[in-house]
């Protein structure tokens, strides 16, 4: 207890002592004690009513002059009020600075509640999405951007990847939209103009496609001449090995060009939304043919097993799926030692999905390598890659084929412990076997 409390108790004790003494002298101690207690309570209630009236007035009127503990209480309330005002000023200043800084962002920023209703947005969002400050707050963001892909993106609770779509108000521009959840069912919608990135990427794709087309013809001519030279009995013996090496490198270059053309085609083609127009691909028969081709490859492991646990078909492109599955099997065969094993599995999931797995006992991948294996020309072991051949484009082709079929590629691997590549197709891409 502080000094004020001790003083209050001392006053009360003094009052009771005086009242008791007077009551004793008058011969009625109980009456005088009750009167003293009653007066003491009335005095405190009067002070309490003054404090209450002051607080109800907003604690802004003249401060009441109160004695003892009530004066201390009023002083404490005043200190709290001042502290609260100081904190409110700080918070207001922080909010103002945040709004100024967010308003200066070149990217659009929109705060949304759990129903995708607009809580706040910055100036960039006003320009990019056509929002107005006064009337648009409290409305759904879907009222302003009505593109089907955006509606699907906002209504999905599992979308993690940014959405790239044409700008709704700026023809020729492209936006990247990302939704970041926070708080209680609230989210932050970030809109970024990526027109330059899209343009550069398109230029790159066009260059690769055009360069590959232009290289194909001269490579065909070179290959023809080298074939003729290799078969020429009059070719000098000293030229035999160089011609064979040039022929092998020309064949490798032709394979790279073919891979680049395939990637360009896969990147350029749009995903078919109407699955009714897609082929019903007989995956079990395709895998049986791929296994037969793999057994004929040089250095094929001693054990190559095919497990068909499902007769499900896939709605899509047979040529693209064959290319993707063949690349996965070829990689497994090339990077698995002769005494190792490769297991191919085709199975259905309880949710109606279908999965193609390629599991090997090869060199494996480190955790840092797994995210990069689908990049173009990425090599895990450059020395081993030169020995086994290949273009470094196989897994990139696999990735794009699966994207075009709404499928996911799941990779699990450890160095020296082999790898498992799983192609998971959703139920919407799975068809019943032909009768």
Q: What is the pLDDT of residue 251?
A: 79
Strands (E), 75-130: 108-112, 118-121
Q: What is the pLDDT of residue 420?
A: 92
- 148: tokens are 């089907």
User: Cβ–Cβ contacts within 10 Å for residue 425, how many?
Assistant: 25
Q: What is the pLDDT of residue 96?
A: 73
**Which alpha helices (H) appear in 269-409, and where do they start and end?**
283-295, 318-334, 382-388, 394-404
Name, in order, each residue with C-beta under 8 angstroms of 338's C-beta and a sequence gap of 6 or more. Answer: 299, 300, 301, 302
Q: What is the pLDDT of residue 307?
A: 92
Q: Does the pLDDT of residue 170 top 50, yes or no? A: yes
Average pLDDT, the chain: 80
Q: What is the pLDDT of residue 22?
A: 80
**Which alpha helices (H) appear in 301-365, and where do they start and end?**
318-334
- 311: tokens are 């007769």
Q: What is the pLDDT of residue 389?
A: 54
φ, ψ at 237 (rounded to 5°): -60, -30
User: Cβ–Cβ contacts within 10 Å for residue 307, how many?
Assistant: 12
Average pLDDT (43-72) is 74
Distance CA 43, CA 47 (A): 6
- 128: tokens are 């990019």
Q: Does the pLDDT of residue 388 top 60, yes or no? A: no
Average pLDDT (297-323) is 87
pLDDT confidence tier of residue 354, bands split at 50, 70 and 90: very high
Q: What is the pLDDT of residue 182?
A: 81
Q: Does the pLDDT of residue 276 top 70, yes or no? A: no
pLDDT confidence tier of residue 3, bands split at 50, 70 and 90: low
Q: What angle do CA 298, 304, 310 make, to 5 degrees?
A: 135
Q: What is the pLDDT of residue 59?
A: 66
Q: What is the pLDDT of residue 347?
A: 93
Pick from 41-50, 171-180, 202-211 the range whose average pLDDT is largest.
171-180
pLDDT confidence tier of residue 343, bands split at 50, 70 and 90: very high
| Whole-structure pTM value | 0.56
Distance CA 346, CA 359 (A): 12
The H or E element that residue 424 is part of is strand 419-425
Q: What is the percentage of the chain residues whose pLDDT exceeds 70?
A: 88
Distance CA 84, CA 50 (A): 22
- 312 within 8 A of 350, measured Cβ to Cβ: no
- For the sheet containing 430-431, what is the strand order? 279-281, 313-316, 430-431
pLDDT confidence tier of residue 249, bands split at 50, 70 and 90: confident
Instruction: Identify the residue with better confidence: 189 or 273.
Output: 189
**Per-residue CA distances from 169 to 120, 139, 189, 191, 201 (Å):** 20, 19, 17, 13, 22
Q: What is the pLDDT of residue 43?
A: 79
Distance CA 369, CA 325 (A): 21
Q: Does the pLDDT of residue 297 top 60, yes or no? A: yes
Strands 186-193 and 108-112: antiparallel
**Per-residue CA distances from 331 to 46, 124, 337, 385, 390 (Å):** 92, 47, 12, 10, 9
Strands (E), 9-145: 108-112, 118-121
Q: What is the pLDDT of residue 273?
A: 43
- Which one-letter DSSP state was computed for residue 291? H
Q: What is the pLDDT of residue 288?
A: 92
Q: Does the pLDDT of residue 274 top 60, yes or no? A: no
Q: What is the pLDDT of residue 289?
A: 92
**Per-residue CA distances from 387 to 249, 372, 390 (Å):** 13, 21, 9
User: Cβ–Cβ contacts within 10 Å for residue 212, how many?
Assistant: 19
Q: Dihedral angle at the C-alpha atoms of 100, 102, 105, 111, nearest 10 degrees?
A: -150
Distance CA 50, CA 157 (A): 56
- For the sheet containing 419-425, what is the strand order? 303-308, 341-348, 354-360, 419-425, 408-413
The 3-class secondary structure across 172-188, one letter per residue, is CCEEEEEEEEECCCEEE
Distance CA 373, CA 123 (A): 41
Q: What is the percentage of the chain residues whose pLDDT exceeds 90?
A: 11
- 144 within 8 A of 136, measured Cβ to Cβ: yes
Instruction: Identify the residue with better confidence: 221 or 64.
Output: 221
Average pLDDT (333-350) is 89
pLDDT confidence tier of residue 358, bands split at 50, 70 and 90: very high
- 427 within 8 A of 352, measured Cβ to Cβ: yes
pLDDT digits (tens, 9 = 90+) for 98-153: 666 666 677 888 888 888 898 888 888 888 888 877 778 888 888 888 888 888 88
Positive or negative, the CA dihedral 392, 395, 400, 401 is positive
Distance CA 179, CA 171 (A): 23
Q: Does the pLDDT of residue 172 top 80, yes or no? A: yes
pLDDT digits (tens, 9 = 90+) for 28-39: 777 777 877 887
Average pLDDT (214-230) is 79
């Amino acid at each position: 207890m502080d000094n004020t409390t001790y003083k209050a108790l001392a006053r009360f004790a003094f009052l009771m002592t005086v009242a008791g003494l007077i009551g004793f002298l008058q011969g009625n101690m109980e009456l005088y004690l009750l009167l003293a207690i009653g007066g003491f309570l009335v005095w405190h209630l009067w002070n309490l009513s003054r404090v209450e009236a002051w607080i109800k007035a907003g604690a802004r009127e003249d401060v009441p002059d109160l004695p003892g503990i009530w004066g201390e209480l009023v002083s404490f309330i005043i200190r709290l009020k001042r502290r609260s005002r100081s904190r409110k000023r700080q918070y207001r200043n922080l909010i103002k600075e945040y709004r100024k800084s967010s308003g200066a962002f070149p990217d659009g920023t929109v705060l949304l509640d759990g129903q995708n209703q607009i809580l706040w947005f910055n100036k960039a969002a006003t320009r990019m999405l056509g929002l107005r400050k006064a009337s648009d707050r409290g409305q759904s963001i879907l009222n302003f951007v009505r593109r089907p892909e955006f509606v699907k993106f906002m209504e999905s609770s599992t979308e993690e990847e940014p959405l790239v779509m044409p700008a709704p108000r700026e023809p020729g521009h492209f936006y990247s939209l990302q939704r970041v959840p926070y708080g209680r069912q609230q989210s932050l919608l970030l809109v970024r103009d990526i027109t330059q990135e899209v343009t550069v990427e398109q230029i790159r794709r066009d260059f690769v496609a055009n360069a590959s087309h232009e290289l194909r013809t001269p490579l065909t001519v070179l290959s023809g001449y080298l074939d003729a030279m290799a078969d020429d009995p009059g070719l000098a013996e000293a030229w035999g090995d160089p011609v064979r090496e040039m022929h092998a490198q020309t064949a490798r270059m032709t394979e790279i060009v073919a891979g680049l053309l395939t990637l360009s085609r896969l990147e350029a083609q749009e995903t078919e939304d109407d699955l009714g127009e897609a082929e019903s691909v007989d995956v079990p028969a395709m895998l049986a043919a791929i296994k037969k081709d793999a057994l004929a490859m040089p250095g094929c492991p001693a054990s190559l097993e095919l497990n068909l646990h499902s007769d499900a078909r896939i709605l899509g492109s047979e040529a693209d799926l064959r290319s993707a599955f063949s690349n996965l099997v070829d990689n497994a065969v090339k990077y698995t030692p002769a005494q190792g094993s490769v297991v191919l599995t085709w199975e259905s999931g309880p949710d109606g999905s279908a999965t193609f797995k390629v599991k090997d006992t090869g060199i494996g991948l480190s955790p840092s390598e797994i995210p990069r294996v689908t990049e173009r020309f990425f090599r895990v072991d450059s020395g081993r890659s030169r020995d086994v051949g290949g273009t470094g484009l196989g897994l990139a082709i696999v990735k794009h084929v699966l994207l075009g079929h709404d499928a996911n590629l799941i990779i699990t691997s450890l160095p020296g412990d082999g790898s498992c590549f799983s192609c998971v197709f959703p139920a919407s891409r799975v068809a019943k076997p032909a009768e």
